[in-house]
Chain A
Amino acid sequence: MIAAPPVLEVRGISKRFPGVLANDNVNLTLRKGEVLGLLGENGAGKSTLMNMIYGLYKPDEGDILVNGEAADIAGPKDAIELGIGMVHQHFQLVDVLTVTENVMLGNESVSGPFLRRDTARREIEALSREYGLDVDPDALISDLPVGIQQRVEIIKALYRHADILILDEPTAVLTPQETRGLFKIMRTLLDKGVSIIFISHKLKEVLEICDDVVVLRRGKVAGHADPKQSTEQSLASLMVGRDVILEVDKAAASPGDEILNIVNLHVHDDRGLPAVEGLSFGLQRGEILGVAGVQGNGQTELVEALTGMRPVAEGRFYIKGEDLTDASPRRVTERGVGHVPEDRQRDGLVASFTVMHNLVLCTYYQGAFSSSIVVDDRAIADNARELVEQYDVRPPIINNIAGGLSGGNQQKVIVAREFSRDVDLLIASQPTRGLDVGSIEFIHRQIIRMRDAGAGILLVSSELDEVLSLADRVAVMFEGEIIDILDIDEADRDTVGLRMAGVREGGQTVGAP
């Protein structure tokens, strides 16, 4: 078979940011009608590279060739004209505008200065039909689930006649079902001659959809892999540069006393609408209860209520038998509850504080770190040095500003703080979101260690693989309710995936007539 002609070539690209060499002499080739997988740890330079192709950054050295010709891409406008479209990791959609307005933005169909929404709408409908991207052109973005928003992003690129599509971690926010839907769409696109660069952390997906894989490590191309001859293990090793244990190694759980008991809990979201509707379940010491579910089904509100950050509308919960409904976060913390929050930048750290001060955010006022009203910085520094070493925070400098660390290392700071306390109940929400395999492996091991030391662990994750590999029991949350709790032995991907989509036992869809 003759290889298809290259549509996009990157030759010897380098990009420096102050103090960091983000891309170092990177080469890659995307061929027509193929999917090129781009793998790499956090901070390996994948997004930087893509942003250069899309014109958001300028490379310091090197060339980008589109259809064999050197392209000078000074801004997104140039990239769009060259037929390059990008679906960003964080969707670039304006919430308060409709699908049509978002799609046409920047490339409006107009007569004179006036918008022609009808023309754009017809074009969107045509694209929807052609590529199987079902979406209502008049819906507001804020009313759409993420899976549909992603379709809007793809339509945005196609509307601009993109034939090179960059998908930056497109599956991070999707359910397994939605991911399958995305792959179907990708295959349709490939059939129509679109070429795709696919960035992902999920090795399984890369092996499934890609025709070729490039692995970046610390800004350099660490190697190529042929998906047909690779395994998850080999890709992971190539990515991290050492052997990684992907399977979580853990003994069977030995549950002890009940530590958390939730009775008919109701919680409202920010808009005052019911987000958690009548949850009841218990959690024992020495077990990990995984809460699976697509993001936005009440998990956030559940965790915030349990940690005292959000008022409870109705119902009670008990920690170690004590009623802590609507207790303050400090009281909850002092009862031996550790919390790894979902949004580490918002709720987990004070970004402008140093690592050492972030490490005592919930204990700074206690005897060990302060006497009367004066904090003891020396004790805080000693504590920090020990934790930074133990939890492998990089760089191990305790006076660094926390906001300057990479996502994975920020997460390690939080984990170090929460896990080093005397914790009986750990509530971990998306503990490994956006982290690379190396950091994930580390945090997973710590969670198992906590469990084996006798803590009860409530693990909330929209990452199905994470829940399945860590949990001893799996609770699936859908639209504010736990629709099923499964033992890990009976929880397979398909069953849990179906429950996540709202299908109850016996195939009945929640909310269907």
Chain B
Amino acid sequence: MTAAGKTKSARRLAFKLTRKRIIAILLLILGGFIFFESGRLDSELVTTLTFESRSTGEAPSVADIPVPTAAYLLLVGLLFIVSGALNLYEFEAVRWRRGSLVLLALCGALFIPTVIIAAAAGNDTNLTTIVAESLRLATPLAIGAFAGIWCERAGVVNIAIEGMMLFAACFGFTTLFFLRGTALPLETAQLLAVIIGLLAGGCIALLHGWLSITFRTDQIVSGTVINILAVGVTSFVRREYLLSTEAGAAKLGNFAIPILSDLPVVGEAIFTNQPIFFMMFVMLAFTHIVMFYTRWGLRTRAVGEHPHAADTLGINVNRTRWINVFISGMIAGLAGAWFSLEATGSFNDGMTRGAGFIALAAMIFGKWTPIGAFGAALLFGFSDSLGIRLQMVGVGFPVQFLQMVPYAVTLVVLAGFIGRASPPKAVGQPYVKE
């Protein structure tokens, strides 16, 4: 800042690194990379975007789109470079300013298709599968992020989502495991397992509430304690009770939404799916509506922003927090149940693999709004699915790097794009009535 100049002209020379400029620089680098890589590709290479999986000879209901890879990448590379360059400059004229922002948005919109086309490089790639897979992998992240929103909007930090998920995954699966041999029909056993998962998350949340609301422990410490506890307790349970036999159970069954599942292409890929997947959309709508259109949501937000103000209006701050923390725990439990009951039908040590923390990142990236968090979770889900896809296609470098993709995206997104997020003001502060 000392360089900020003495006179007007000096100020213009002084280069200020705004967030827009950081993005512009990233675009320039990326554009240059794409541009030069496109030159190395065989110009005959064609990537075909398809929309449904089909056996040979069957006529597609939606036409494929062939994309000449090298030419497309060349164009995109140029576009990135031009819009990066334009956005480096602060235009005085409104028209130019607006124009360069439109270009920036266009680059953003093209980003994901470009990654898909570049990754497929010459092969067929099924867009519907990618979308469906991204959504599927986004499920625990999105639901975890909603759990975070419930808690943090009421002013309680919840870094224990990871631990709550792990508890839920473990106890949900254990329930199913022990109900297997009984006379209960599978569906009922599975439903019970999910409910136990929810309650497990809720119970751990009560521990979090007890420590951080009643005893006013630092909420980060309380969350960390729960995360550590979760690792220990769940691996103990697994060793003591689950390892004795071949631990595996049926995954939650598919469920077809009437009418929607009859749609071509998306009907089968998206609208015929497992229950927790659908619960993600239910939780999205539920969280959004409760937070912004109901009395409870208004009170929750007030308590998270300015608890004393809420108190002076006769709102019981700590009761509001307790209830929100409990709901948060149950939602995190749902996300945890996804791992053991929906995705794998088994339980492994640490199987949530940090998803709780990525869910937190999604919540922050989405600025503590359900819709924003959902979008962020989708992005992370996409990069996750991309990692898996690239691994299957087989590219010329170690798979471990590909598995880093989601986490690298998280880092870049958090550091570069969201900038200063504004959390609820009272988050992390225990409320003490004078």
Contact residues of A with B, CB < 8 Å?
51, 54, 56-57, 75-77, 80, 86, 88, 92-97, 101-102, 104-108, 110, 113-115, 156, 311-316, 326
Given A94-B306, A96-B301, is A314 in contact with B11 using a C-beta cutoff of 8 Å? yes
- Residue in A closest to B303 when the chains form the complex, CB atoms: A94
Given A86-B312, A114-B293, A156-B313, 16 more pairs with CB closer than 8 A: A51-B434, A54-B312, A56-B433, A76-B312, A92-B308, A94-B306, A95-B305, A95-B425, A102-B309, A106-B313, A113-B295, A115-B298, A311-B2, A314-B11, A315-B6, A316-B6
Bound-state CA distance A315–B7 (Å) is 7
Q: Which residues on the A side are within 8 Å of B301 (C-beta)?
A: 94, 96-97
* Most central of B296, B305, B310, B312 by chain A CB within 10 Å: B312
Bound-state CA distance A57–B11 (Å) is 55
CB distance from B7 to the nearest CB of A (A): 8
CB distance from A158 to the nearest CB of B (A): 14
Given A77-B314, A311-B2, A314-B5, is A94 in contact with B309 using a C-beta cutoff of 8 Å? yes
Bound-state CA distance A80–B312 (Å) is 9
Given A94-B305, A95-B306, is A313 in contact with B4 using a C-beta cutoff of 8 Å? yes
Q: Which residues on the A side are within 8 Å of B290 (C-beta)?
A: 113
Bound-state CA distance A130–B81 (Å) is 60
**Cβ contacts A to B, 13 pairs, < 8 Å:** A76-B311, A92-B306, A92-B312, A94-B301, A97-B301, A105-B315, A107-B313, A110-B295, A113-B295, A312-B1, A314-B4, A314-B5, A315-B6
- Interface of chain B residues 391 through 434 with chain A (CB within 8 A): 425, 433-434
- Residue in A closest to B422 when the chains form the complex, CB atoms: A96
Bound-state CA distance A311–B298 (Å) is 38
* Most central of B290, B294, B314, B425 by chain A CB within 10 Å: B314
Q: B4 contacts A114, CB within 8 Å?
A: no
Smallest CB-CB A-B distances: 6 pairs: A106-B313, A77-B314, A92-B309, A311-B1, A113-B294, A108-B295
B 277-298 binary contact with A (CB < 8 Å = 1; else 0): 0000000000000100111101
Q: Which residues on the B side are within 8 Å of A80 (C-beta)?
A: 313-314
Q: A97 contacts B4, CB within 8 Å?
A: no
Q: Which residues on the A side are within 8 Å of B299 (C-beta)?
A: 105-106
Bound-state CA distance A114–B310 (Å) is 19
Contact residues of B with A, CB < 8 Å?
1-2, 4-8, 11, 290, 293-296, 298-299, 301-302, 305-306, 308-315, 425, 433-434
Q: A105 contacts B293, CB within 8 Å?
A: no
CB distance from A65 to the nearest CB of B (A): 21
- Residue in A closest to B8 when the chains form the complex, CB atoms: A314
Q: Which residues on the B side are within 8 Å of A97 (C-beta)?
A: 298, 301-302, 305
Q: List the count of A-B residue pairs having beta carbons below 8 Å apart.
A: 89
Q: Which residues on the A side are within 8 Å of B8 (C-beta)?
A: 314
Bound-state CA distance A169–B5 (Å) is 43
- Residue in B closest to A107 when the chains form the complex, CB atoms: B313
Q: Which residues on the A side are within 8 Å of B6 (C-beta)?
A: 314-316
CB distance from B252 to the nearest CB of A (A): 30
- Residue in A closest to B18 when the chains form the complex, CB atoms: A272
Q: Which residues on the B side are within 8 Å of A75 (C-beta)?
A: 314
Bound-state CA distance A105–B434 (Å) is 21
- Residue in B closest to A313 when the chains form the complex, CB atoms: B4
Given A95-B425, A311-B2, A314-B11, is A115 in contact with B313 using a C-beta cutoff of 8 Å? no
> Which listed residue (B4, B5, B314) contacts A106, Cβ 8 A?
B314
Q: Which residues on the A side are within 8 Å of B425 (C-beta)?
A: 95-96
Given A94-B301, A94-B305, is A106 in contact with B310 using a C-beta cutoff of 8 Å? yes
> Which listed residue (B295, B302, B305, B308) contacts A115, Cβ 8 A?
B295
CB distance from B15 to the nearest CB of A (A): 14
Q: Which residues on the B side are within 8 Å of A96 (C-beta)?
A: 301, 305, 425
Q: A88 contacts B295, CB within 8 Å?
A: no
Q: A311 contacts B4, CB within 8 Å?
A: yes
Bound-state CA distance A105–B240 (Å) is 51
- Residue in A closest to B433 when the chains form the complex, CB atoms: A56
CB distance from B11 to the nearest CB of A (A): 6
> Which listed residue (A88, A104, A107, A115) contacts B312, Cβ 8 A?
A88
Q: Which residues on the A side are within 8 Å of B1 (C-beta)?
A: 311-312, 326
Bound-state CA distance A92–B306 (Å) is 8
Given A311-B1, A313-B4, is A101 in contact with B312 using a C-beta cutoff of 8 Å? no
Bound-state CA distance A148–B299 (Å) is 23
CB distance from A45 to the nearest CB of B (A): 14
- Residue in B closest to A117 when the chains form the complex, CB atoms: B293
Bound-state CA distance A316–B294 (Å) is 53
CB distance from B87 to the nearest CB of A (A): 18
Q: A108 contacts B305, CB within 8 Å?
A: no
CB distance from A227 to the nearest CB of B (A): 29
CB distance from A111 to the nearest CB of B (A): 10
> Which listed residue (B4, B296, B313) contacts A76, Cβ 8 A?
B313
> Which listed residue (A94, A312, A326) contacts B302, Cβ 8 A?
A94
Bound-state CA distance A56–B308 (Å) is 10
CB distance from B403 to the nearest CB of A (A): 38
Q: Which residues on the A side are within 8 Å of B7 (C-beta)?
A: 314
- Residue in B closest to A88 when the chains form the complex, CB atoms: B312
Q: Which residues on the A side are within 8 Å of B434 (C-beta)?
A: 51, 56-57
Bound-state CA distance A311–B1 (Å) is 6
Bound-state CA distance A311–B14 (Å) is 14
* Most central of B7, B290, B313 by chain A CB within 10 Å: B313
Q: B309 contacts A326, CB within 8 Å?
A: no
Q: A105 contacts B296, CB within 8 Å?
A: no
Bound-state CA distance A389–B315 (Å) is 46
CB distance from B14 to the nearest CB of A (A): 10
Bound-state CA distance A471–B174 (Å) is 77
Q: A76 contacts B314, CB within 8 Å?
A: yes
- Residue in A closest to B4 when the chains form the complex, CB atoms: A313
CB distance from A325 to the nearest CB of B (A): 8
Q: Which residues on the A side are within 8 Å of B314 (C-beta)?
A: 75-77, 80, 106
